[in-house]
Structure 1
Amino acid sequence: MSAPVRGRSTRVRPANRRPKSAEYKARRRVILRRRLVALLTVLSVVGLVYCVYFTPLLGVSRVDVRGNGALTEDEVRAVAAIETGSPLIRLDLKEIHDRVAGIPRVAAVEVERQLPGTVRLVLTERVPVGSVKLPDGFHLVDSTGKDYAILPAAAPGVPELVLTLPSSSDPATRAVVGVLNELPEKLRPEVLAVAATTGADVRFTLSGGRTVKWGSAEDTARKAAVLLVLLSRPGMNYDVSSPDLATVS
């Protein structure tokens, strides 16, 4: 009987175990696949960013103007200066806002992006409270006292403002506008003209040639209430500058 050979061991490889090289190749394929997916993802993101920021793919195709009345859409678009095809995401909305807000007739504007390619401009135009006749025409004045437009003829439906130079910094303009802003709706149709040389000598011309000495812009609501009562009495001249001592003559 022969003796067993020392130093040798005989191992039986499990039938379901693949060679080591096969496992390595399998792991490598998984790693390569993951790297490829990651690379394609990065390239897709880079491509999308490039298309959005640097190509007309999501560029401006339409400028939608809303809320305009006296201004035409083309006038607003010309000032907005938004180039067709400009990448929508790269537009400087503040610059566009400031350009459109610089139009004298514009009181406020909102600028909005709307995918895929629209820029919407929503305007609020100034509304005149009166017009001032000057050598170059009739100047429209809004509720802030801003002189914002010139017409060749008097604006229909608004009183004439008799002022030396309409300006939001002029005390007479501020007083006249302040009074008109607070007048009740019932009284407005009666007012044909409003005059002032300072902030304390506002005067009205009403329909029928009647006149009103108003005084300052203080206590406008109370003065208006007193005037409405006085107008029920016969007279041509009404003084409500001191509402407690109002007179009719």
Structure 2
Amino acid sequence: MSTQAARRRPATASRRRPPRRPSRGPVRGPSRRQVVRRRVGAILVMLVVTAVVCTVWFTPLLGVRDVDVRGVEALTPDEVREAAAIEPGTPLVRLDADAVAARVRELSRVAGVRVERLPPGTVRLTVDERDPVGVINASDGAHLVDATGKDYATVAGPPSGLPGLEVAPEALAPAVGVLTQIPEALRREVLAVSADSPADIRLTLSAGREARWGSSDDTPRKAAVLEVLLTRQGSVFDVSSPELPTVS
């Protein structure tokens, strides 16, 4: 029995061997027709991209047809368009927005401008006009001065509510700096600002009062001290040294 069992073992072991995997044939690449289709597709994509780029960059199809001006009051939209000098039909992508903004800012009343491209053919110019904070009365008219101290426009008569500026040229910017830093309630009391030098600024207030300011240094503190002093009787309020203010 043992001899027969030993003879059967090799046959049993041979049956348990894993079956052979079928051999794979050679890997075939894409057919000639597939290669041609891919190449044609790539060429078509390149042609479409080229056509789009040429249309956007070189043709007036997406060119400027309208210039929309916003934010103007003293200026007219036509004045801004003329200054912008945007050639009709200029492709939007080729429009030099910085150059357009620089030309518009040459208008004395313009403090700033934003240039926007709005496809298919609109350029929007949003203008920030200067606001006057004071006026210089001269023989040729009333000169409007903005918060930067720029004399930017001349009108026939001074607008109501603006303080007069009777200051030396070198004191103009410091005097305007005082006006723009004091509280609104105090600013409404100011009828005029005078200064022979940057260190000798004086505010003419309502009811015949005067505030001697000195330089524009420490203006917020001087304004706080002056608001307290104005509750007292007096005509001259000296806050040029806010640590030692006087009323007379």
TM over 0.5: yes
- Structure 1 segments, 4+ long, off by >6 Å, are none
* Structure 2 counterparts to residues 7-156 of structure 1, below 5 A: 27-156=31-160
Aligned counterparts of 1:200 and 1:55: Cα–Cα separation in 2: 61
TM-score after normalising by structure 2: 0.82
Identify unmatched segments of 5+ residues in structure 1.
1-25
Aligned CA RMSD, in angstroms, stands at: 1.8
1:71 Cα offset (Å): 1.6
Kept in 1, the 8 Å contact 2:168–2:197? The answer is no
- CA offsets per residue over residues 209-239 of structure 1, 9 Å max, x none? 2222111111211211221122222222222
1:118 Cα offset (Å): 1.6
Aligned counterparts of 1:164 and 1:242: Cα–Cα separation in 2: 22
Match of 2:20 in 1: none
* Mapped pair 1:178 → 2:168: no
- CA offsets per residue over residues 47-88 of structure 1, 9 Å max, x none? 111111111111112222222222221111111111222111
1:27 Cα offset (Å): 4.3
Aligned counterparts of 1:124 and 1:194: Cα–Cα separation in 2: 26
Aligned counterparts of 1:136 and 1:183: Cα–Cα separation in 2: 30
Aligned counterparts of 2:243 and 2:33: Cα–Cα separation in 1: 97
AA paired with 2:78?
D
AA paired with 2:149?
G
Identity of counterpart residues, as a percentage? Answer: 56
Structure whose alpha-carbon radius of gyration is higher: 2
SS at match of 2:98: helix
Match of 2:239 in 1: 240
Identify unmatched segments of 5+ residues in structure 2.
1-29
SS at match of 2:243: helix
Match of 1:191 in 2: 190
Instruction: Count residues with an aligned counterpart.
Output: 219
TM-score after normalising by structure 1: 0.82
AA paired with 2:218?
D
Match of 2:11 in 1: none
Match of 1:17 in 2: none
AA paired with 1:192?
L
